[in-house]
Amino acid sequence: MDSKGVSPMIATIVLIARVFAVAPILALSLASAPTPTQPFGGTFSLENVENGKDVIVIKHMGGDKAVEALIGTGSTPLARWRNLELRVDGVVKDNIFEFVSEGKLYTTTTQGTTYTLVVGDIVKVKLDSALREGSKVVLVWVPRNQALVEKEVPR
């Protein structure tokens, strides 16, 4: 009898070759996939978000530590944002002139040193101009671009 088709042995070899060809591609794509990260679980408050005010007070109220939130400048301003950012109408404001961490008032910092904020810590930011009615103030966790707290200056 003269049958047409692929012999079972050749079909098995082709199937195994396909598996060996696809497996590395699948493994590479899984290994290069970004690892999921948890959202930041800290709670903050914004104070002095009022018309005519030029200092905003940020308080860490609870939850996760804000790891490496600030980085010291060794001069004026006292520190700059690292993993946190204060934005007023979309513009980063980083003239940090005072912060209290774990009960210690910082009046000087070491350039390049990072500072973690824990519950009870306070950061004061001096704005280059006073807030206006309708201005939007947002505190952002930079690694995830996550808005932690938003306030609008009342009209």
List the pLDDT tens digit at each of the 155 positions of the chain.
566 777 888 889 988 988 888 888 888 887 877 766 678 899 999 999 999 999 999 999 999 999 999 999 999 899 999 999 999 999 999 999 999 999 999 988 999 999 999 999 999 999 999 999 999 999 999 999 999 999 999 98
Q: Give the residue among 49, 50, 100 at the shortest CA–CA distance from 79.
A: 100
pLDDT at 25: 86
Q: Torsion angle of alpha carbons 8, 14, 17, 22, nearest 10°?
A: -120
Chain centroid offset of residue 49 CA? 22
Q: ω before 34 within 30° of 0 (cis)?
A: no
Backbone φ and ψ for 14, nearest 5 degrees, come out as -65, -40
What pTM was estimated for this model as a whole?
0.75
